[in-house]
Structure 1
Amino acid sequence: MSDPQILLTYSRGKGIVAIAHGARYKAAHQLLTSCGFREDESGVHHLPNGEPDLARAHVASLVRLAKFYRAEVTTGSRQFIGDIAEDIAARLPGGWKARVEIYSNPHWQGDLVPWLWDSGELARVVRHERVPCAAALTDTASETTLLLIEHPDRQAGYLLGALSPDFFEEGHGDRHAPRGIAVPGSAAAAARAITDHYLPAYRRAVHDRRLACVAESLDRIRARHDDRSTGTAPERDDIGAPVPEEATARLPGRVWEEFRSVLRHAPPLLDRCRSSAPEGSPDNRVLAQLIDALVDVESLDGGASSGSPGPDAPLRSAIETWLTHGETFLRRARAAAPPTRPDTPALAPPARPHPPGRHTPRR
């Protein structure tokens, strides 16, 4: 069994802080408590700030007891990650908040892996190297959560990537995942790199994945729709029982599930599409029909059941509208993809208000 491990560093607001981790993290917790450290709500242990002599005495006691209990105590070469995260968050556009996450138990770090939405070095490091702590930077308005960890190279700064947004659920291994970046130890320089390079790439990745979700759902709906139109729909259910005649009047539950994906991901794409379509153009009129179709059925998406809501005429009409005009939507959405560079001109805002879309806020 590995020895208890303790990482010491300094926080401008908390003074000397300690992070207990490793397979025997509970023993490290007990050792810190016995030496006068107190644990806060984030799982970080710290000494009373503003009393340097007392802090030195507690640290000296920790070092002595660590040798006796065979605990490994190391000193971090960078400032406390919570401090740098707060400094970066304050410099990002919008209303960002920072919080510290402690992965004392190595299994907790493993639990993080499915939620990583990253195709760069961040995902590799979290999967294969020990990360005792991290900082999450969250912008609730855009449902964006970024993860900041210390670079494994002690002479370098930090690695930053994204966690999967609520509306995507798990993100590990997704081909649309943005590539994380290395950022310097300066909060100002790190915030510039995130604002100028990472966030544009992240927004483009969100757009591309939403578009893929809608396209794949429409393809699956169209395949089932074609089966029913050509008389090749199954006459028996999944366990071989005959399909009741009244059930044929209902949309299959799987078709409804696929269309719920359209309800979830299409509205923000439609917002961008209408921003780029000329006023009064045929494409603009088609987009308006697609928006209206979603508005007509969005109340059916209560999220409580995965079954079909029944032989509802508005739902059938909405699906028919999307199958008819889906290609126009996909073409416009591809053309309206957000730029990945900050110096690329942004799309013009809509000339007039349009019917509201539906933005489903996860975790």
Structure 2
Amino acid sequence: MAAEITLHRTAHGTLAGHVFGANHKWATTALELAGFSPADDGIHQLSMDDFDQTRQALHQLRQSARDLDVTVTLSPQPYLGDVAVDLAQRLPGQWEVDLAPLPEADRHEDLLAWVWSPGRLPAALEQHRIPCAARLTGDGTELLLVQPDDDNECVIGAMLPSLDLDFMDVVVDGPQSVSAASTHIAAAVIQNRLLPQYEEALFSSRLIESEDDLRWAQETYEPGEVVKPYPGELVSALNRFLHHASELIAHVRRPKAGLTAHEDAFVKKFEAHLRRAQKDGGDAMSLWLAEGERLLELASAGSTREPTAIQPPARFAAPVPPRPAAVTSTARSR
């Protein structure tokens, strides 16, 4: 279809209109001629408080759509905004919901570049007509929610960690996508499987980046060659380590990591020296080059001690697709 409008009844007593297609601007025109108003999220809404006005608006929409060659469909699916809000309220912590209209298929490709979860989420964006997606953001974690047009299930997956992409290459698979027929089930699987897998994948990326940077620095520079002013690429590598250091230390110091007394003493000393160097302008470079390898060894060993994440019911299992291409930040030097 060149231009389509999909209407959804919302939990707030309105009709929400999504537009889609190569000529989606004509669909938008038809909605506005009928009295639909664009909300802050870009979705057009029509209040249904007054029955006569609603009937008149829908009559006008039908006429305008016919004149402009626009197809109008009333969807039996729940409104995506309501689904996203309900899901966010069931997840641990505080989550913000942001709707992302996708009126053109090209927008799907733009969004796909930021999808980290393999499985049903990228497949849905590639194969289905999806006029709108919802982003859920909580404590640095970004999730994407879509409703394929011919499916009664919602599909949720992780987005790439945008706050960290300037400091690392994401070279590991993200958590598997989740699909469920209700937000209650989806929230349980997200909490028990997707979020633990997300944290594990993010930590693995931090660790791999830190190990690669330190190995490169040790292979490129002899100890006596590292003098101020430090080379720019070496400073960039140190800054990436400093960005990850607090998360690496927190990972090492968790109770389940099982540190020995000697290891615990080393981590406390490293953390104190790092804090002093960052606060008082001390030499974080020397600390990183001399002691960073030991910290990374403990972080790597701690990750192998981690218990396996809770597995979802078999009905949510999905085959693992081929490894996605690495995503490289543009703000890097090494």
TM bucket, shorter chain: 0.7 to 0.9
1:50-82 CA-to-partner distances (Å, cap 9, x unmatched) read 223322332232123212211122232311000
TM normalised by structure 1 equals 0.76
Residue segments in structure 2 that go unaligned for 5+ positions in a row = 313-334
Structure 1 residue 222, shift from structure 2 partner: 1.9
1:76 aligned partner = 75
Question: Which structure 2 residues correspond to residues 2-41 of structure 1 after superposition, within 5 A?
Answer: 3-41=2-40
Cα distance change of structure 1 residues 332 and 203 upon mapping to structure 2, 3 Å threshold = same
2:331 aligned partner = none
Question: Does residue 290 in structure 1 map to residue 287 in structure 2?
Answer: no
Question: Which structure 2 residues correspond to residues 185-196 of structure 1 after superposition, within 5 A?
Answer: 186-196=182-192
Which of 213, 238, 252 is the aligned partner of 1:273? 252
Distance 2:240 2:169 in 1: 19
1:93-127 CA-to-partner distances (Å, cap 9, x unmatched) read 11122222212244333322222121222123224
2:158 aligned partner = 162
Distance 1:335 1:215 in 2: 16
Structure 1 residue 33, shift from structure 2 partner: 0.6
User: In the alignment, residue 291 of structure 2 is paired with which amino acid?
Assistant: W
Structure 1 residue 158, shift from structure 2 partner: 0.8
For the residue of structure 1 that corresponds to 2:47, the secondary structure is coil
Question: Which structure 2 residues correspond to residues 35-184 of structure 1 after superposition, within 5 A?
Answer: 35-139=34-138, 142-152=139-149, 154-169=150-165, 174-184=171-181
Matched-pair contact (CA < 8 Å) for 1:208–1:337: no
Cα distance change of structure 1 residues 313 and 57 upon mapping to structure 2, 3 Å threshold = closer
Matched-pair contact (CA < 8 Å) for 1:204–1:339: no
Matched-pair contact (CA < 8 Å) for 1:283–1:328: no
Percent identity of paired positions between Structure 1 and Structure 2? 23
Distance 2:6 2:203 in 1: 40
1:22-74 CA-to-partner distances (Å, cap 9, x unmatched) read 22222221111111111111011111232233223322321232122111222
1:241-300 CA-to-partner distances (Å, cap 9, x unmatched) read xxxxxx964322111111211111231121121123557611112222332343244469
For the residue of structure 2 that corresponds to 1:116, the secondary structure is coil
Distance 1:266 1:182 in 2: 34
Cα distance change of structure 1 residues 3 and 331 upon mapping to structure 2, 3 Å threshold = closer
Distance 1:98 1:336 in 2: 35
Question: Does residue 221 in structure 1 map to residue 250 in structure 2?
Answer: no
Matched-pair contact (CA < 8 Å) for 1:293–1:321: no
2:329 aligned partner = none
Distance 2:160 2:111 in 1: 11
For the residue of structure 2 that corresponds to 1:212, the secondary structure is helix
Structure 1 residue 314, shift from structure 2 partner: 0.8
Cα distance change of structure 1 residues 223 and 77 upon mapping to structure 2, 3 Å threshold = farther
Question: Does residue 321 in structure 1 map to residue 275 in structure 2?
Answer: no
2:233 aligned partner = 254
Matched-pair contact (CA < 8 Å) for 1:214–1:261: yes
Distance 2:169 2:36 in 1: 36
Distance 1:195 1:262 in 2: 29
Distance 2:185 2:298 in 1: 39
Q: Alpha carbon RMSD of aligned pairs, Å?
A: 2.8
Aligned residues: 310
Distance 2:274 2:22 in 1: 50
Cα distance change of structure 1 residues 291 and 148 upon mapping to structure 2, 3 Å threshold = same
Residue segments in structure 1 that go unaligned for 5+ positions in a row = 232-246, 301-311, 344-363
1:331 aligned partner = 300
Cα distance change of structure 1 residues 216 and 282 upon mapping to structure 2, 3 Å threshold = same
